Amino acid sequence: MAHRPKRTFRQRAANSSDSDGAEESPAEPGVPREVAAPGSAEEGPPSGGGRARVAGRPHRVRGPRGRGRVWASSRRAKAAPRADESRVLDVSTDEEDEIHHSSESKDDQGLSSDSSSSLGEKELSSTVKIPDAAFIQAARRKRELARAQDDYISLDVEHTSTVSGMKRESEDDPESEPDDHEKRIPFTLKPQTFRQRMAEESISRNEETSEESQEDEKQDIWERQQMRKAVKIIEERDIDLSRGSGSSKVKKFDTSISFTPVNLEIIKKQLNTRLTLLQETHRSHLREYEKYVQDVKSSKSTIQNLESSSNQALNCKFYKSMKIYVENLIDCLNEKIINIQEIESSMHALLLKQAMTFMKRRQDELKHESTYLQQLSRKDETSTSGNLAVDEKTQWILEEIESRRTKRRQARMLSGNCNHQEGTSSDDELPSAEMIDFQKSQGDILQKQKKVFEDVHDDFCNIQNILLKFQQWREKFPDSYYEAFISLCIPKLLNPLVRVQLIDWNPLKLDSTGLKEMPWFKSVEEFMDSSVEDSKKESSSDKKILSTIINKTIIPRLTDFVEFLWDPLSASQTTSLITHCRVILEEHSICENEVSKSKQDLLKSIVSRMKKAVEDDVFIPLYPKSAVENKTSPHSKFQERQFWSGLKLFHNILLWNGLLTDDTLQELGLGKLLNRYLIIALLNATPGPDVVKKCNQVAACLPEKWFENSATRTSIPQLENFIQFLLQSAQKLSRSEFRDKVEEIILILVKIKALNQAESFIGEHHLDHLKSLIKKD
């Protein structure tokens, strides 16, 4: 069980909160404090200085039930003093409680009856036995010792004669004072004495009395005010009545009043002043009248003008209707543009997926076939017996390649095309299942395209009807039409409608619809042709509508096809794309300054895509002559296919002649493709009819425009390697059984304007019968 901290008690010298205002008599240190009592009843009421007070700190003591008590000793002694008497009482905890309660009750009685008799005071003092300071100090000391030893307080308290000495020790010893943590903190208000409660009750009664008196005074004041108001109203009414009666009486002239003298001059002066004022008023009225007359005239003329010009109302109505129409048109297009963009994205993603499938398949097949032939070549070099181990994937790919080639051969035989070379096919066939899925997805997208303007009136989705509205404006009010720059607004308004018609347009297909056959193209041309011929503004603005639509709508879409979908190795795609580009860039590039930006972007994308094709798709392997001498060997067939595939790309690149610059085509076709790939393959081949045929195909691809103005009898520098190869082949053929093929080589040199080299070769080999070929040229 935890020990409670020691508690020490000391005497309070300050006035107690329970005191009734009397001062406490000082006590000498070390001397027990005595309680001074007044004399007998006959001596009268006690004086203020005869009261003594013993103040003790509140102390909580353990009682039989553990309840805490509060000590508050502030007593008024009523009994007679006894000389040299020191009361020492043996008091238990319960007795102390009784003393406390009884003394408090008696103290309250003494405070409440200050006018009572001294006999009653004696009786009260005889029943209450107040312990002195020495006894209280001894009891405290004993309780402290009991707490320190046994942790409990004994109920038996012994009298000690050494209380005064202990008190002096406790007062002299500063350590006996309680520490801060040992001081008792009062958590409740100290009980009030009877006198204090009586004082508070008297104050409250006084306050209530004062409040009641104030309310009575306010009531009296209010009554007096009401009485004054009533009296005042009656007096005012009497005064009004007296005034009314007095006014009805005839006032009598007071003869005592004297007037100023009046003569003729004064009267004349007053009349003149009055006349002047009247004349000024009359003039002001005349001015106002004239103003009103002018306002009436102007109003009548305005009415007449408005009545005569009734067309102004019609003009206003037309402008208002056009404003409402354009606002509704813009709202409709803004709402539908989101659906249009989604459909465009879906179609573009579908075509892109198909193009990437073809490209990846071609690269994978080329890689596997080349790897297989390399393994086959190593096997032939090491041993001629045994079978080559081929993995399943490579075997499956090779079978697929051969199956598609067989189908293409059969199709060419049925069509009668026997001059086809292996390797020039586009190889863009899809399996039947994939083709069905592609067609189904494309059909779903086209169904969405038809439903875009399904809920829109023709006046807001038909390009012809929209242009008809602006045509009426141009015919009725040409000045306001051109001042509003309608020719700049029409391409923006028609952009979503043109894009809807272009969703199904694929410029990479040969059977795709041309721009001139599209409905929007015809409608715009009719709108431009119906304009007034004499208008100078029209010639500089409306004629640009078609070129602006092409510049802002068609060319960006064509650029997307070139960058993501076009395969330069495909002859059909290249031919169709070139056809559309010529229509767009040549026939409708009226305003070069406006179209140049988009045109340059398109041409840059074309060049970039062809460079990528040369770097990624051209592959011509070189095998030993022993492997390619046999034309039926897989090495020879693969090499031939790759050469003709490169030559096909060479042809496709040079088809852009007229759209791309000559320097660009010569760099791509001659520098990167012919000199780097095709010439090397020709040098590795055995001279013969096949080599001559390939050289003829190379020369046939070269544009004739490059050799029209060759006054120096020499060809372009990029063909120097090709010319040297032709001379070497002619020299070898002249000593072989294919001597007749030399004439074809001389014709190739003449075609490419290598006249000096041809003449020198004829002179060296004494081929005089071929000189006529040069002279004919």
Most confident of 28-42, 115-129, 411-425, 564-578: 564-578
Higher pLDDT, 120 or 282: 282
Give the pLDDT confidence score for residue 32 in this predicted structure: 36
Share of the chain above pLDDT 90, in %: 32
* Residue closest to 45 by CA, chosen among 72, 22, 16, 74: 22
CA distance 678 to 689: 17
Determine the 3-state secondary structure of 287 from DSSP: helix
Lowest-pLDDT range of 256-260, 437-441, 533-537? 533-537
Instruction: Answer yes or no: pTM beyond 0.75.
Output: no
Lowest-pLDDT range of 392-406, 643-657, 715-729? 392-406
CA distance 698 to 690: 13
Higher pLDDT, 41 or 205: 205
Residues 298-339 have pLDDT tens digits of 999 988 877 666 677 778 888 999 999 999 999 999 999 999
Is pLDDT of 169 > 70?
Answer: no
The mean pLDDT of 279-298, rounded to a whole number, is 94
pLDDT bracket for residue 68 (50, 70, 90): very low
In sequence order, what are the beta bridge partners of 660?
Answer: 657
3-state helix, strand, coil in the chain (%, to 5): 70, 0, 30
Most confident of 155-169, 194-208, 246-260, 608-622: 608-622
The mean pLDDT of 117-143, rounded to a whole number, is 66
Higher pLDDT, 45 or 775: 775
Give the pLDDT confidence score for residue 116 in this predicted structure: 41
- Both tokens of 247, joined, read 């006014």
Spatial contact of 550 and 539, defined as CB atoms under 8 Å apart: no
Looking at residue 255, the DSSP 8-state letter turns out to be T
Is pLDDT of 636 > 80?
Answer: yes
Is pLDDT of 81 > 80?
Answer: no
Residues 476-489 have pLDDT tens digits of 888 899 999 999 99
Lowest-pLDDT range of 198-202, 419-423, 608-612? 419-423
Higher pLDDT, 7 or 469: 469
For every residue of 506-561, which 3-state class applies, written as one string?
CCCCCCCCCHHHCHHHHHHHHHHHCCCCCCHHHHHHHHHHHHHHHHHHHHHHHHHH
Residues 262-285 have pLDDT tens digits of 888 888 999 999 999 999 999 999
Give the pLDDT confidence score for residue 149 in this predicted structure: 63
Backbone angles phi, psi at 660, to 5 degrees: -100, 160
CA distance 139 to 92: 9
Query: Is residue 748 exposed (0-12), middle (13-18) or buried (19+ Cβ within 10 Å)?
Result: buried
- Determine which helix (DSSP H) or strand (DSSP E) holds 613, and give its type and residue range: helix 592-617
Alpha carbon 228 to chain centroid, angstroms: 76
CA distance 249 to 227: 34
